[in-house]
Amino acid sequence: MESQTLSAEEYPLLDQSGLPRFGEIGPEDVEPAVRQLLEELGTELEALEASVPRGYEPIIGPLEAIHDRLALSWGIVGHLMGVQNSDALREAHDAVQSEVVAFGLRLGQSQELYRGLVALREGPDFEALTPVEKRVVEGLIREATHAGVALEGAEQARFQTLAQELAQLATQFSQNVLEATRTFARVVSDPAQMEGTPETLREITAQSARSSGEPDASSAHGPWRLTLDAPSLVPYLEHGPDRSVREELYRAHVSKASAGAIDNAPLIDRILILRREMAELLGYANYAELSLASKMAPDSDAVKALLEKLRLASFSAAQDDLEEIQRFAHARDQLQPETFRPWDVAYYAERVREARFDYSEEDLRPYFPFDRVLEGLFGLAKRLFDVEIEPADGEAAVWHPDVRFFRVRDHIGRAIAFFYLDAYSRPGEKRGGAWMDECVGRSRRLSPVGEEARRPVAYLVCNQTPPVQGQPALMSFSEIETLFHEFGHGLQHMLTRVDEGLASGIRNIEWDAVELPSQFMENWCIDRRTLSEISGHVVTGEQFPDDLFEKIRRAQTFRSASAMLRQLEFALTDLFLHGEYLPGKGRTPFDVRSEIAERTSVLAPLPEDRFLCGFGHIFAGGYAAGYYSYKWAEVLSADAFGAFEEAGLENEKEVKALGLRFRESVLAQGGSRAPMDVFVDFRGRSPQPEALLRHSGLLDELPGGPIAS
């Protein structure tokens, strides 16, 4: 019996005529819609292979269309998995994930397309291609090689099995972390245990208690429900007066997803084993070599040299940081250094900062209502990049009532891009952290009728403190930095001028360069003019006071060495696990982390610390053997911002000129050129480390020799 063709009207996942029809897409639609799409794409791929195409457009045109159709529909499913997770959606996703992976492998391992691309690269017409077209061809050949196109017989079959299992393990890892976060709660009833905590914390934890069966819970009298979600966890670790509650929360956080049915430890071992085998099949010594083959960094030695120089610049200063807060803890509460524990660090660090700089993080929140911050951020985009951002709520369906939709216009008023903004934390259905992803990318080839190119649309997702009891959402400074960070990613996606869809926006950018625009935008949070424009007291409307600005400016380097070491620990652990580490040879990944912590942590982690079980970046995300990218790109971003500092942040003419140059290089060119060439276009030279270490207050500790090249 012939199967019935599903209509896009009935199954909106198949509707690729416009923006996703959120609200109409249910978990029950996923399996039939995705399976039909895969069948259609399989037919298109067979037709393309049968023609053995030659030339750039005959190959790239159909190939982009296939990639795009799959990315649009499956991307919606993946997006909803992150922002509107449910048991039914997870089941539907898991039911077809292996089929999606299988099709991706089939596409990547197409011998006919690979031969066509290689023939194009080696043929007489290659030199006539534009630089971006050449880069697209080279990138596709590399991707095909890494997808196992050169493997044959049993090796290719094994590679496919590995890829299928790795995709399933990544999904399971992420789901286990979400489940662990959803199920943990510590209910506090004694007001003394909440004394001195921020009002915003008391409000959101009382709201959480009400939603969990305590209808009379109030911010003043409790009970308060503490969770592992960041807006709850972090403020209590920083301000919670009850040491035993801090300990319980901290231990739950570092042991998340490490026991019972949701234990990620066995998944970590299996993931590392499979990745190493996959790399060896492709001819690499380990997965780190495979990962770095498509990065900006030339090799592992260059990465290790960067990380080691940053470690040497940070370690003694981080020791001083720890000794200072230990002395404070002893003087104030008679806490001996030998009994000082990890759950004391954030609490006493915050007390030291309050004493030294005479303000607390919570003192800042009233100055940063979310709407005001957003208005100021859009004003900065106008000032630097000459774009207007305006609300377009109601013009696109959304997946939650809190989600906003915005339009981006260029200097002559043309709509050039759009983005969704999902700002608030929703424990239980929305995964933690923050991210930017593409809904659709810019493409000349896939442009709607009458348009020069298809306009890009981005998803910007954060997990900041939500509004409570009808009050405006008030942002912490770290939440503002996160918003600026994700907005920077979004700008690179939305302000691209590249018409070639496979290299526009954030596509085709080396992973260790992709954080450049996001980290660059964070620097503006401490610019005096920007801070004034994103602030307005929730009650009085007063802009951020000069004396308070001076305090936070001086506090910018407070414990920056400790923060640097923390990132270096994660990066080195990631690199070692995917490089030298041999699974099953007597040591566990947790042993590796502990050994690296001896060189990167001035306060040893607990023996039972299982942080790796929640480290989704490297085990369920795109940062495997690439977590170092944050620091690699931070060298680039700090140096890029250094150009503005050298010109003078008060020199409006120069700031505008540099902003447009940054737009036309880093933001506009995206994956069309090598990132070093793009950086040099903007900065006029290769990147230097001094700006990063100067921003961190560590310039005097810099060892000799270059860091980035």
Phi, psi of 579 (to 5 degrees): -120, -95
Alpha-carbon torsion (235, 238, 239, 245), positive or negative = positive
Residue 87: CB atoms within 10 A of its CB come to: 9
How far, in Å, CA of 244 to CA of 251, rounded?
10
Residues 6+ apart with CB under 8 A from 375: 533, 534
Phi, psi of 220 (to 5 degrees): -85, -35
CB 440 within 8 A of CB 515: no
| Cα distances (angstroms) measured from residue 553 to each of 57, 548, 549, 696 | 53, 9, 6, 12
Nearest CA to 341 out of 252, 227, 232, 244 is that of 244
Per-residue b/e over 514-552, b at no fewer than 16 CB within 10 Å?
Answer: bbbbbbbbbbbbbbebbbebbbbebeeeebbeeebbebb
| Cα distances (angstroms) measured from residue 354 to each of 93, 247, 348, 579, 702 | 47, 22, 10, 42, 29
Residue 147 CA, distance from chain mean position: 24
Q: Which of 479, 486, 510, 634 is catalytic?
A: 486
Residues 6+ apart with CB under 8 A from 207: 217, 468, 469
Nearest CA to 458 out of 497, 409, 493, 505 is that of 493
β-bridge partners, 437? 459
Dmax over CA atoms of the chain, in Å, equals: 81
Catalytic residue status for 486? yes
Strand order across the beta sheet in which 435-440 lies = 388-391, 404-409, 415-424, 457-464, 435-440
How far, in Å, CA of 288 to CA of 284, rounded?
9
CB 311 within 8 A of CB 600: yes
How far, in Å, CA of 357 to CA of 554, rounded?
8
Question: Using N-to-C axis directions, what is the helix angle for 87-108 and 27-50, rounded to 10°?
Answer: 10
Per DSSP, helices labelled H in 184-299 are 199-211, 230-239, 243-254, 265-281, 287-292
In the structure encoding, which two tokens stand for residue 534, read together?
Answer: 């994103």
How far, in Å, CA of 571 to CA of 574, rounded?
5
Q: Which amino acid makes up residue 390?
A: E
Residue 264 CA, distance from chain mean position: 21
How far, in Å, CA of 486 to CA of 433, rounded?
11
Active site residues: 486
